Structure 1
């Protein structure tokens, strides 16, 4: 009996391994093109691309577009494999992803893009990537949830540090979401390294949870899980038909272009380039100007357009200078610190417990550019602590630069 049982157990393990291999193969090859079909890999949610694709497919002679929605890290892993030839296009707001793909010779050159588009593209990827739309950053709020908790509507990053928002805010992980990475970059460049991280870590003390995807923040705020959170406008704008939701741009909202590029091994490169030229055409820019996309076109809107003023404001914002690689120890350590702070504060019931939790979390060494700088362990006595007010209880990242 034991022998029979062992055979079945071994057989079960073999079957499990075979199933795992089949699932892995299916995961690596989800994008095999069907005939004359474009496969577009994108970091955007399906709702952010459906309007554009539907309008494109009404064009005479247009081909079908199938989307592959994944995180930047997942797309990097996929497109670095031998299966990358099955993807024709990439649509993303992440210049870091495009930089990685270009450095690995995965992108095809693209010429003829108008100057109004190309000046929005970082010089290092300008030969392969095109900007077809722009977005900005701000705060999405659930008005009903704010009223229920008797909280004021936040308007800027500094407002999110208010201890009254403890357990009420949402954000995505800056190392998993390139959109949030760009928001963090913008904050650090506005406030400086020390003050910027102090603001961010103080905000982390007020989080109710951390979403792995940027559009997950918008969905959770809509459901009432939190009262507010920093998001990119195209996800917020698609939800504003709900009267309980409101969105406000940060006073200094950096511009975030939407990029598109053709994969070097695309089997439908001519059709892929045709789609890009359609997006850059007057008709395509008109479609991108529609509120259903949640974005703004790169072509200036007419003065009478109700969205023209906001588009002009975004176009006049300075570009984000990318300086932090999400794979480096510095950025990764800060992201881990944010996650640990949120977790321990959520699991702590009293001010004293929160003090002990903070002391444990902040007693780490924080590497920056190859050297270590100690995060201060100075903590105010528990009796005088204000829950959620991290900047008043610790000197954050002193001498990190």
Structure 2
């Protein structure tokens, strides 16, 4: 076992955990950490932790988040001491299943709130380790060449005719899309947000792979795409002529860390969590091979030039994103995106093309009667078959879309949605065409 004197390493690193009865005792000879982080991040933390805690071996079990719950549901929790991964939904579910032990955190150095929103567990069973923001990746030079404005808000996605130069992820196929679209929908309002998405999607390319969404801007296939920021930040760091834009109303969502209820190496587990949340551990996130945002505000004094500080973001609007409410809506959002947008993409192009043509004609020659038709067409084109007040009631039905839970109810709802969406869009197209001037 390690000499007792070595145990002072964690406090010297800038401890944030209010350590319990294990403090002052030698650490165990190992700590088992389950994660889905990539090797370039894990290896740097492994090396740094073992240097700070000689005699304690950090053992990594790599598991995708979909398999983590199975591991932690075993009688011995798979021998796992720490769960450390970028998987928003898994932490609340596992907390509610009793998988974690509580953490006591020093909020003077680790506030648990970023950009006005909670990123750590209010019940204290898991803690944010780093955050990623959601926004737009753009090619400023290409936009200028084509005479297109650089978007600054979510609403700008529908305010400009992008002529196919906008890329959007397909909800349900791209991992970050559920959170991204929920952020937009909470920021803009449920009904208004879906209308915005439908209008934007009509002039967009839909992409089913997360990395390819940002890559489409990097390789010149698109000029604008919605994304999670680490894709854009990586492209910028690699010299690509792209820029990252955070809308005034967006969110920074966390990756988290927790100690398992049955940890076999509890002191080493606390030392690992303390390390990744310490000043040196958080500063590692600035490394060129990692490029993530720390959750410890003080370390931004060490940030590379040009790093955005989410704790002091300029241009941000007051907007408190409800992360835990949003987690339960991802399946519903994916199902609605499929019915409203993905399955009817060609129809959306024709519909919004007719509305835009009618609006252009009205701008050139105002006509009050035609204006009423266009306004009604626009309202119907943005129709969503689930009212905002029904979202949280219906969301559990779609929370596990690939499971066998409630298949008949889901199928009946989707059939009803399709019929109502078809009727609304057909009427909208008819009205838009009637609003066009007679040749």
Structure-2 change in CA distance of 1:104 and 1:125 (3 Å): farther
Q: TM-score, normalised by structure 1?
A: 0.67
Hey, what's the Cα distance between the residues in 2 that align with 1:273 and 1:244? 42
Aligned to 1:91: 84
Q: How far 1:129 moved relative to its partner?
A: 0.6
CA RMSD of aligned residues (A): 4.4
1:234-249 aligned at under 5 Å gives the runs: 234-241=230-237, 242-249=239-246
2:321 aligned residue: 320
**Could you tell me how far apart the structure 1 residues matched to 2:206 and 2:224 are?**
12
Residue of structure 2 in register with 1:170 after alignment: 167
- Partner-residue secondary structure (3-state), 1:40: strand
Return closer, same or farther for 1:193/1:69 CA change in 2, 3 Å cut-off.
same
Partner of 2:338: 336
The 8 Å contact of residues 171 and 178 in structure 2, kept in 1 or not, is answered as yes
Q: Which has the greater radius of gyration?
A: 2
Structure-2 residue corresponding to 1:282? 279
Q: Once the 2 structures are TM-superposed, how far is the Cα of residue 189 of structure 1 from its aligned partner?
A: 2.4
Structure 2 Cα separation of the partners of residues 362 and 192 of structure 1: 13
- Structure 2: 5+ residue stretches without partners: 1-28, 355-380, 395-412, 435-439
Give the stretch that moved more between structures: 243-252 or 59-68. Answer: 59-68
Shift of 1:268: 4.2
How is 1:2-401 mapped onto 2 (pairs within 5 angstroms)?
36=30, 38-42=32-36, 51-53=44-46, 55-61=48-54, 63-66=57-60, 68=62, 70=64, 72-73=65-66, 75-76=68-69, 79-80=72-73, 84-120=77-113, 121=118, 126-142=123-139, 146=143, 151-162=148-159, 164-175=161-172, 179-213=176-210, 215-241=211-237, 242-290=239-287, 292-301=289-298, 306=305, 310-314=309-313, 318-321=319-322, 322-326=324-328, 330-337=332-339, 341-342=341-342, 344-345=344-345, 351=350, 365-366=385-386, 368=390, 369-370=393-394, 374-375=420-421, 376-377=424-425, 378-381=427-430, 384=433
Following superposition, the deviation at residue 99 of structure 1 comes to 0.8
Is the Cα contact below 8 Å between 1:174 and 1:181 reproduced in 2? Answer: yes
Cα distance in structure 2, aligned partners of 1:142 and 1:103: 43
Contact residue 107 and residue 262 of structure 1 kept, 8 A: yes
| 1:334-369 C-alpha deviation (Å, 9 max, x unpaired) | 23235xx245536x79848998xxxxx999954733
Q: CA deviation at 1:138?
A: 1.6
Separation of aligned partners in 2, 1:48 and 1:218 = 21
Distance 1:199 1:80 in 2: 41
Distance change in 2, residues 1:328/1:342 (3 Å): closer
Aligned in 2, Cα 1:181/1:150: closer, same or farther, shift over 3 Å? same
Distance 2:215 2:39 in 1: 13
SS in 1 for 2:179: helix
Alignment deviations for residues 266-287 of structure 1 (CA, whole Å, 9 cap, x no partner): 4444333222101222212222
Gaps of 5+ in 1: 1-34, 356-360, 386-401
Give the 4+ runs in structure 1 shifted more than 6 A. 352-355, 361-364
Shift of 1:139: 1.0
Give SS of 1:100's match: helix
For the 8 Å contact 2:170–2:206, the answer to whether it is kept is no
Aligned length: 344
Shift of 1:101: 0.9
Separation in 2 of the partners of 1:231 and 1:69?
24
In 1, Cα distance between equivalents of 2:284 and 2:62: 22
Question: Does structure 2 retain, via aligned residues, the 8 Å contact 1:48–1:293?
Answer: yes
Match of 1:396 in 2: none
TM-score (ref. length: structure 2): 0.62
Conserved? CA contact 2:103–2:126, under 8 Å: yes
Distance 1:303 1:39, change over 3 A: closer
Give, in whole Å, the separation in 2 of the partners of 1:297 and 1:258.
10
CA-CA distance at 1:56 after TM superposition: 3.7
Rounded to whole Å, the distance in 2 between the matches of 1:219 and 1:133 is 23
Q: Secondary structure at the match of 2:138?
A: strand
Superposed CA deviations along residues 136-184 of structure 1, whole A, max 9, x for unmatched, are: 2221124576577664433221222256325433343444656433332
State the distance in 1 between where 2:121 and 2:302 align.
36
Q: Is the 8 A contact 1:233 1:294 kept in 2?
A: no
